[in-house]
Amino acid sequence: MKQRPTTVDSTVKQALEEALQRFSSNHHGKNASYIPYLASVPSHLFGISIMFCDGTHAQVGDTDYAFAIESISKVFTLAHVLDELGPQALRSKIGCDPTGEPFNSVVALELHKGRPLNPFVNAGAMATVSLLEAQTPQARWEQIQATYNAFAGRQLSVNEEVYASEASSNQHNRGIAWLLQSYGYMYADPMEVCAVYTRQCSVSITCHDLVTMGAALANGGVNPVTGKQVVAAKNVAPILSEMTLNGLYDTTGDWYYKVGLPGKSGVGGGILAVVPGVCAIAAFAPPLDAAGNSVRGQLAAEHLSRTLNLSLLH
Ligand code: GLU
């Protein structure tokens, strides 16, 4: 059995180069288009980063291109709310089970009497935002922003063009927010919450930011670059459980089968995988499969997991 690397070495660099070369010419999938801005992002972009718990990192391709975090934001809002309320409250108010339906499904909500089942479908993500204790929308937003900044180790910003694009096309999410309210799973004003949720999805990150954010989860909640504890160590396992079960929409099982790691993807083309105690992998490539996951991002993660022996199942 191959040794797992614990720092950037020549094997790691070679695996990254191989992944870039092997999958750059894969043109399967399509950019998300239900959010107009995302359709305009150049489809050929492809970046892959890895960061170890010792803070060493390596990257190939377009790892400085800023893209919309989208659904991956749900991981970090969850981290904030877990630190405020603890895992038990989260589990009873939202849950940690797959819905078996697409991420924006209304059917799933209706089937379970409004209980969102997990914080990574849009319903559960908005319920999570609503659980955060804040008196005003601004205060709610600032807490989320501060958490994301701590994870990334720098000041992130919202891409206002993405926000405007999402805010003008998020009628479906607004419908979900009202439905949650009607079933008693919305814990603040639904339209205020939907707006803050839309804003969190519009945060601009690079692959390097994403891998740093993931490395903090790999490293027991401590950002390996800044050395700051950004989420309580005891809350990392609940986050990774959610990523394991629900990170890649309704094809999370397929991902786990191939990659063997907790992951999270977003319709902006980003994807994150976490190897607890070892490293994080982040990739960015806009074209998505039918479930909403980056095609090349998944291939890159699978390649690195296999080549570097990172799967948790080995
Ligand atoms: N803002 C997107 C939405 O709510 C995020 C979805 C995603 O990345 O899965 O539809």
Q: What is the pLDDT of residues 233-269, one digit of tens each?
A: 999 999 999 999 999 999 999 999 999 999 999 999 9
Q: Is 278 left (phi over 0), alpha (psi -120 to 50) or beta?
A: alpha
Q: Which helix (H) or strand (E) holds 254?
A: helix 252-259
**Separation CA 192–CA 198 (nearest Å):** 10
| Residue minimizing CA distance to atom 2 of ligand 1 | 70
DSSP 288: B
The confidence score (pLDDT) of residue 236 equals 98
Cα(156) to centroid(ligand 1), Å: 19
pLDDT greater than 80 at residue 1:
no
Q: What residues have CB less than 8 Å from 156, skipping those under 6 apart?
A: 145, 148, 149, 203, 204, 205, 209
With bands split at pLDDT 50, 70 and 90, how would you rate the model's confidence at 3? confident
Q: What is the pLDDT of residues 129-146, one digit of tens each?
A: 999 999 999 999 999 999
Q: What is the pLDDT of residues 268-303, one digit of tens each?
A: 999 999 999 999 999 999 999 999 999 999 999 999
Cα(186) to centroid(ligand 1), Å: 18
Cα(4) to centroid(ligand 1), Å: 34
Domains of the chain: 10-70+204-307 (3.40.710.10), 71-201 (3.40.710.10)
271 φ/ψ angles, rounded to the nearest 5 degrees: -150, 140
Relative to the CA of 268, which ligand 1 atom is closest?
8
CA-based nearest residue to 73, from 270, 296, 297: 270
- Residue pair 148/208 in contact (Cβ under 8 Å)? The answer is no
91-130 as b/e, with b when 16 or more CB fall inside 10 Å? Answer: bebbbbebbebbbbbeebbeebebbbbbbbbbbbbbbbbb
Q: Any residues with Cβ below 6 Å from ligand 1, and which?
A: 70-71, 103-104, 122, 166, 173, 201, 266-267, 292
pLDDT greater than 70 at residue 198:
yes
Relative to the CA of 34, which ligand 1 atom is closest?
10
**Separation CA 99–CA 261 (nearest Å):** 20
- Residue pair 162/202 in contact (Cβ under 8 Å)? The answer is yes
Q: What is the pLDDT of residues 26-82, one digit of tens each?
A: 999 999 999 999 999 999 999 999 999 999 999 999 999 999 999 999 999 999 999
User: What single letter denotes the amino acid at residue 242?
Assistant: E
Relative to the CA of 173, which ligand 1 atom is closest?
4
CA-based nearest residue to 72, from 246, 179, 198, 201: 201
